[in-house]
Chain A
Amino acid sequence: MMGDKSGKTLQIEIFCSPEGEAFARAVGYGLEEEGLPYQVETGEEYSPETAYESSQQGGLGVSVLIKEGWISVYTRQLKEKRPLFYEPAADPDIAKLLGKNAARIVKNKPFLEIDSEMENRKDQSLAPKWAAQL
C-alpha cells in the first residue's frame, strides 16, 4: 500500500459501529468500483470527531462514519466541522452511492445523485441526532 509524507497509508477509512458493518461493506463496494483503496475500522468508540480528524490528516482527505443508523462522509475540503453528505443507513444502494461519491471527491468528478427510486426507499422521518453537535 502506498503512503504519503505523514507515513499514513493512502486509503479511505470507514469507521463503523458493529451493527453498521453491512453498510460499511456497501460503502466499500462503492469506493472499490471507483478504484479507491479503503479500510473498515469497527468499534463502538468511533465518533464524528474520529472521522473528522481522520479526514483532516494527510492521505486522501476523505473518511466515512457509520453510526446510530446514519452514514456520513467527511472531507478535508470542507473547512467546517460537519460531514459533506449524510444519509440514513437504510438502503445498501444508497450506501454504495455514498462510497462512490466519497471516491469522487478524491477523483474530482461530479457527484452522483440519489435517484427517485432510492429516495422513495429512504426513511424521511429520521434526522441525524449528532449532526447538530458538529
Chain B
Amino acid sequence: MKYVAGVDIGNATTETALGKIENGVLTACVSGISGTTGIKGTKENIQGIIHSLKDATGKLSVELSALDLIRINEATPVIGDFAMETITETIITESTLIGHNPDTPGGIGLGIGKTILITELDHADKTEKYIVVVPEEIDFLDAARIINDKWNEGYEIEGAILKKDDGVLVSNRLNRVIPILDEVEVIGRVPLGMLCAVEVAAPGSCIDLLSNPYGIATVFQLNPKETKQIVPIAKALIGNRSAVVIKTPAGEIKERRIPAGEITVHGGQRSYMASVDRGAREIMSVVEKVNEILDITGTQGTNVGGMLEKVRAEMAALTEQDYKDVFIKDLMAVDTIVPKEVQGNLANEFAMEKAVGIAAMVKTHRLHMERLAEALSEELRIPIEIGGVEGSMAVLGALTTPGTEKPLLVLDIGAGSTDACFIDEKGNTKPIHLAGAGNMVTMLISAELGLDDFKLAEDIKKYPLARVESLYHIRHEDGSVQFFEEPIDSKLYARTIIVKPEGWKAVKTKKPLEKIKQVRREAKEKVLIQNILRALRKVSITGNINEFEHVVLVGGSSLDFELGNMVTEVLSYYGIISGKANVRSTEGPRNAVATGLLLSYLRDLEEHEVRERRI
C-alpha cells in the first residue's frame, strides 16, 4: 500500500489530491486546500504546502510522515501585466465652464446673458441681459430678494449660478421662473463679463439645447469651424439635467489626441506595426497575423513602451534571467471608454475619453521548482517529484469530469494570463498561454466606472449586486427581493451594494445598478470570452472553432458566479459543449492539476508494469 500526493501550487491556493494505492489501484482519494504562502515557486511556499497536505491526510486519518511520494507541478512559466492608455483628452482653456449635473437644480428653461456677480448689479448696464453669480456668503433669502428687486428696477436677469445647494430655495422665492444651477464648487473661477448660457430641464428630462452642437452654435452665434470645435462640450453634456456653457474670447475646448506610441510584433519572417491610438482592433489584427510571436516591443518614451519594458524587467528579476533573454509572447488589446476629469474644470466635470487596455504575457524558462522541491524534501523527509507540465496535468484532472472525453480543451483563467491546453484523441497535448485574464477585467471595471479603487473593482467583478430599497429589504440584481428582521444600516439606504459572503459593501457612485452590471459583464466578455475564442482558434488546425466538442473550465476563476454560464452560452453557438469542470465528480473546478499529478503517477506505474511484463 502506498500514499501518493499531487500538489498544485497556484498563485492564490495550494491544492492537494491524496491517493491510497493498493496493488497499483487507487482505492481512496481525498483533497486538501490552503492559501499559497509567498510567491509561487519560492521556498516560502512550503508552509502552504504542508497545510494543504495536512488538510488531506487528516481526511484519511494518516500522518504526514506516512506519505511515500509527493508530486508537485511544474509551474506555467508565464507572467502577465496590463496597462491603460488614454487616447483622447478634453482640455478646457481659460476656465470655460462646461456641464454640471447637481441633484437639485432650480427653475427650468434656458437663460442667456453676461455673467455678473450678484453684488455688482447696481453698477450694471440695464440694456444688457445677465446671468448672476452667487458666492457662498450670500444667503439664498438675500439672493432671491436681490433678484426680485432688480427685476423691479428693470434689470434683465435670465439665470443664476450658485455655489451652495440652494437652487430650489432661491427659485421658490422668485417672482419669475429662471434656470438656476447650484453646487458649483469653485465659483470664484467662473469668468465674469462673459456670454453664458444656463439650461435646466424638467425633472425626468435631459437638456436639449446645450447637448446639441447646433444648439450651442445658435446661442453663441458660432461659424461652422467654431461649431466643430465645441462638439466635445455637447458630447460631455448629453444626458445631463442641467448645464452651463460660457464663451470666453480666447477660451476653447478641444479634444486632443495623445500620441500613444506604436506596438511592433516581431515574427519569424517579418515584423508588423500597429499604432495604439488606432484602437484595439488594429492592434489585435497585427497580433493575429503573426503565427509564432518572437517578441513585442513598444515605442520608447511612450506609455505602452514603458509598460512592455516593465513586464520584461519584472520577469527578468523573478526568474533571475538576463533582461535581454525575456520575450513578450502575446498581447491583448481592448477598446474602452473611461470617464476622465476634464482639465481646467470648475465643478469636477468629466468627459468620456477613448482608451485602450493592454495586457502582455512573458514566457520564460522553468521557474525554480527544483529548488523548492529540494527544500521541501529536506523539510519533510519524503521523496518529491516534479510532475508534468501544468496544462497537461490539468487536462488529466479535468477528464475525470463526468460527461467529458478526448479531444478536449481545458481553460484556466488566472489573474495575469489565460492558460489553455488541448488534448487530442491520441492523448497528445498542446499548451497555449495568452495575455489578458482576471486582472485585466478588474482594470476595465475600475476604469470604466471611474472608481480609482482596484479592490472595489475586484469585488464588483466577483460578486453579484443588489440595491437597498428600504430599511428592511434589498432587491438583488436578478430582481428577487430579500427581507430582513433587523433594520439595514442607514448608510446603505438606497445604495447599490456588493453582496459578498462576509457582508455587504456599498458602491459609492451615482451610476445605477444596471450600468455597473453592464460594465461588469462587458468587461468579462471583452477579455475572457474573447480569449477563450482566441485560444480555440490557436489550437484548431483548420482555424474553425466548430471542430471542438468539449471545453472545460478549471481553476479558481471559474468559480466566478456568472462566467461559467456566459461561456456555455457563447460556445453553444458554435455547437461546443462547455462548462465548469467537476473534477472526480466531487471537486467542482478545483483540484484539476493536483488530481492530474496523482493520476499521471498511476499512468506511469501502469506503463512501467506493462513494460516489465513484456520483458
Contacts and interface: CB of A to CB of B under 8 A. Distances in A.
Interface of A: 29, 32-35, 75, 77-80, 84-85, 104-105, 108-111, 113
Given A33-B104, A33-B168, A84-B471, A108 B494 contact: yes
B490 interface: yes
A77 B472 contact: yes
B469 interface: yes
Contact of A35 (B166, B168, B470, B471): B168
B172 interface: yes
Interface string B464-500: 0000011110000000000000010011011100000
Contact of B471 (A29, A34, A77): A77
Listed residue (B140, B167, B493) with the most chain A CB atoms within 10 angstroms of its CB: B493
B85 interface: no
Contacts of B491: 111, 113
A113 B469 CA distance: 18
Contacts of A35: 104, 168, 203
Interface residues of B, number: 20
A30 to B, nearest CB: 9
B165 interface: yes
Given A33-B104, A77-B471, A111 B166 contact: no
A34 B106 CA distance: 10
Given A34-B104, A84-B471, A110-B495, A78 B487 contact: yes
Given A32-B169, A34-B104, A35-B104, A109 B487 contact: no
B507 to A, nearest CB: 11
Contacts of A80: 487
Given A75-B471, A79-B472, A113-B491, 13 more contacts: A29-B140, A29-B169, A32-B169, A35-B104, A35-B168, A35-B203, A79-B487, A84-B471, A104-B494, A105-B493, A109-B494, A110-B494, A111-B493
Would you call the interface of chain A mostly helix, strand, loop, or mixed?
loop
Nearest to B510: A110
Nearest to A85: B490
15 contacts: A32-B168, A32-B172, A33-B165, A34-B168, A77-B472, A78-B471, A79-B472, A79-B487, A104-B494, A108-B469, A108-B494, A110-B493, A110-B494, A111-B494, A113-B491
A67 to B, nearest CB: 21
Contacts of B487: 78-80
A75 B420 CA distance: 56
A108 B469 CA distance: 7
Contacts of B103: 109
Contacts of B493: 104-105, 110-111
Contact of B490 (A29, A32, A84, A108): A84
A121 to B, nearest CB: 16
| Prevailing SS type, chain B contact patch | loop
A75 B490 CA distance: 12
Nearest to A28: B169
A33 B169 CA distance: 5
Contacts of B494: 104, 108-111
Task: In the A-B complex, list the 3 residue pairs whose CB atoms are closest, starting with the nearest.
Answer: A77-B471, A110-B494, A33-B168
B470 A77 contact: yes
Interface in B134-165: 140, 165
Contacts of A109: 103, 494
B471 A33 contact: no
Nearest to A29: B169
A78 B469 CA distance: 13
Interface in B517-570: none
Contacts of A77: 470-472
A94 B103 CA distance: 19
Contacts of B203: 35
A33 B104 CA distance: 7
A32 B168 CA distance: 7
Contacts of B104: 33-35
Residue in B472, B487, B490 with the greatest tally of chain A CB atoms within 10 Å? B490
Contacts of A111: 490-491, 493-494
Most buried by B among A32, A33, A78, A104: A33
- Among A32, A85, A104, A105: residue with most chain B CB under 10 A: A32
Contacts of B490: 84-85, 111
A62 to B, nearest CB: 12
Nearest to B141: A29
Contacts of B469: 108
A87 to B, nearest CB: 13
B470 A33 contact: no
A109 B496 CA distance: 11
B180 to A, nearest CB: 11
Contacts of A104: 493-494
A72 to B, nearest CB: 13
A109 B472 CA distance: 15
A85 B490 CA distance: 9
A111 to B, nearest CB: 6
Interface string B179-218: 0000000000000000000000001000000000000000
A5 B487 CA distance: 28
Interface string B304-335: 00000000000000000000000000000000
Contacts of B172: 32
A33 B472 contact: no
Nearest to B167: A33
Contacts of B169: 29, 32-33
B203 to A, nearest CB: 8
Which of B167, B487, B495 is the most central at the interface, judged by chain A CB atoms within 10 Å of its CB? Answer: B487
Contacts of B495: 110
